[in-house]
Amino acid sequence: MGIIWVTLIAANRIPKDSIIDDYLWIVLSCHAAIALGKIGDKRAVDPLIQVLKGKDWPVVRCAAAGALGELGDKRAIGPLTQASNDSEINVRLAAENALKKINN
């Protein structure tokens, strides 16, 4: 279910205001990203990268960065490097921590 949720969010297939309110959308998105990182399914890398690159709430992008760090896939290095220059400090820190995990 998690990979489906993140994929749908990344593809903008779930308009935030049509089904759920912003708060619930944020909570579900964060939990889905965290779960994907813990599950370790590499199929989640590309959808998580899309979430990281998106304009979603910073906490959602932080969760995506953290999940990418947990997955440890080298495909995430470029997007995480870009996110380390994000305007939001929490996204920058999450991206930097994820890069450290991948590079170790």
What pLDDT, in 10s, does the model give residues 85-101? 999 999 999 999 999 99
AA identity, residue 68: L
Domain that holds residue 93: 2-103
**Least trusted range by pLDDT, from 2-6, 51-55, 80-84:** 2-6
CB within 8 A of 48, min separation 6: which ones?
Answer: 6, 10, 33, 36, 64, 67, 68, 71, 76
CA distance 9 to 2: 11
Structural domains counted in the chain: 1
**pLDDT for 10-46, tens place per residue?**
555 555 555 567 777 788 888 888 888 998 989 899 9
CA distance 89 to 21: 25
CATH number, domain containing residue 7: 1.25.10.10
